[in-house]
Amino acid sequence: MVMSKAASADAYLAELPADRRKELRAVRDALKSKLATSFVEQMGYGMIMYCLPLSRYPQTYNKQPLMFVALGAQKNFNAL
């Protein structure tokens, strides 16, 4: 998949074929159930990412939220 321009995780998943959407939704649900509530789900780098927002941890070297994990669909595989 080309880098997504989706504005939300739900929009990102809606772009995917049904089989890929099912797989990524299962991983997304598992991540959301296990990650601490301080992590925020947002879109970044064309993927669904979970990060510490700048409001919680503002002193990052690149002035971007501190990414912990990302979930994305590539051409031939899903990536975590």
The confidence score (pLDDT) of residue 55 equals: 92
12-36, pLDDT tens digit by residue?
999 999 999 999 999 999 999 999 9
Between 40 and 75, the more confident residue is: 40
- Give 4's pLDDT tier (boundaries 50, 70, 90): confident
Instruction: Collapse the DSSP code of 73 into the 3-class scheme (helix H, G, I; strand E, B; otherwise coil) and give the result.
Output: strand
- Give 2's pLDDT tier (boundaries 50, 70, 90): low
Give the per-residue SS3 of 4-63.
CCCCCHHHHHHHCCHHHHHHHHHHHHHHHHHCCCCCEEEEECCEEEEEECCCCCCCCCCC
**Amino acid, res. 74:** Q
30-55, pLDDT tens digit by residue?
999 999 999 999 999 899 999 999 99
Instruction: Collapse the DSSP code of 74 into the 3-class scheme (helix H, G, I; strand E, B; otherwise coil) and give the result.
Output: coil
